[in-house]
Amino acid sequence: MKNALHKMNPSIKFLAITICMFTMAFFFDPWTPLVFWIGVLVLQLLFTQISWKKWLLFMLPFFVTAFGYFWTTLVFAEDQSGPVVWSIWNLHVTQTQLNHALSLSFRVMAFSSLSLLFALTTNPVTFILSLMQQLKLSPKIAYGVMVGYQFLPVLKDEFVQIRQAHRLRGANKEKNALQRLLGIRRILIPMLAGAVRKAERAAFAMEARGFTGDRRSSYFHVITIGKVDFALVSLFLVVLVLSCSNMLWLRL
């Protein structure tokens, strides 16, 4: 159970998360995104193996972003109607301003938690294969994306090698931020040339092995849709419905 979301069909998980995000975009009250965010955290706690330290590390930029939305909405809100809730120096915060600020902040947290839940529980290669098998993505696009993803660690190693070569030759002596920014050109040009050579070799190798973009009738790694996928999608929909019903309950 702790790794159920890790084993879930990536395409089904992608569709479920997309539906949840699309639905949450139409709710502007502060409490519906909050209830939905809490539900996502419960799903993460029960059905994933993501450590809380890792989750907090990835969520830190989104916490800062949510706080920035909260504070700027309070200060620069156009609609200042409603009763004053609290005052700080010359800043008077009304109920409308507070609702808008909380709504934006909680929506950022809900969307970012969903995105991280998908990214941290999904293997990129398995996701691309699932897109080909379940959502009928063109193999020409899928194989190209897969090869590009596999080249990312190679490009990182090449970047480190170029930096070390510059240090050995004494060419890396930038003293301020502007000089460092301009010095990036010395790294980008050889990396671009190397990327073009690697892409050309990969294209020739894929064509020689029959990866010409023709749709294949069978796959070595078959990704199926099982009962667990339907059960987890149902849980996502239950969290979504409970969050939306919170809005109806507030109006009654």
- Reported as a single tens digit per residue, the pLDDT across 204-213 is 777 777 666 5
CA distance readout (Å), 142 to 16, 92, 132, 147, 150:
21, 53, 7, 9, 12
User: Residue 217 pLDDT more than 60?
Assistant: no
Do 174 and 202 form a contact (C-beta atoms < 8 A)? Answer: no
Residue 78, pLDDT > 60, answer yes
pLDDT at 13: 93
> Is 217 within the bounds of a domain?
no
Residue 102 lies in a domain: yes
In this prediction, residue 140 has a pLDDT band, given cuts at 50, 70 and 90, of: confident
Cα separation, 203 vs 60, in Å, equals: 39
Mean pLDDT across 135-150: 78
Is position 91 within any domain?
yes
List the beta bridge partners of residue 91: 88
Are residues 55 and 95 located together in one domain of the fold? yes
- pLDDT on residue 16: 92
C-beta atoms surrounding 153 within 10 Å: 9
Q: What is the DSSP letter of 151?
A: H
Q: 172 with 243, same domain?
A: no
Report the greatest alpha carbon distance in the chain.
73
Number of domains composing the chain: 2
Average of per-residue pLDDT across 164-181: 68
The pTM score is 0.78
Over residues 15-43, the mean pLDDT reads 89
In a domain, 188, yes or no: yes
The more confidently predicted of residues 137 and 84 is 137
Based on the fold, state whether residues 70 and 159 are members of the same structural domain.
no
pLDDT reading at 222 higher than 60: yes
Q: Which of the two residues, 185 and 41, has the higher pLDDT score?
A: 41
Are residue 80 and residue 184 in the same domain, yes or no?
no
Residue 110: predicted pLDDT:
92
CA dihedral 162, 164, 168, 173 (to 10 degrees): 90
**pLDDT beyond 80 at 216:** no
pLDDT, the chain, mean: 81
Helix (H, G, I), strand (E, B) or coil at 26: coil
Rg (CA), the chain: 24
Domain assignment of residue 216, yes or no: no
Do 201 and 240 have their domain in common? no
Residue at 106 is within a domain: yes
Nearest alpha carbon to residue 59 among 74, 37, 43, 28: 37
If one compares 91 and 193, the residue with the highest pLDDT of the two is 193
The one-character DSSP state at 250 is: H
Are both 104 and 157 inside the same structural domain?
A: no
Tell me, yes or no, whether 50 and 108 share the same domain.
Answer: yes
Q: Are residues 95 and 149 in the same domain?
A: no
6 within 8 A of 49, measured Cβ to Cβ: yes
Q: Which of the pair, 47 or 215, is modelled with greater confidence?
A: 47
Q: Which of 124-133, 184-193, 242-251 tops mean pLDDT?
A: 124-133
Confidence of residue 177 (pLDDT cuts 50, 70, 90): low
Q: What is the mean pLDDT of residues 159-173?
A: 73
The pLDDT-based confidence of 179 (bands split at 50, 70, 90) is low
State the burial class of residue 242 (Cβ atoms within 10 Å of its Cβ: 0-12, 13-18, 19+): middle
- When pLDDT is averaged across residues 193-222 and rounded to a whole number, the result is 73
- Residue 21 belongs to domain spanning: 4-123+225-251
What is the predicted pLDDT for the residue at 97?
Answer: 81
Q: Does 201 map to a domain?
A: yes
In a domain, 134, yes or no: no
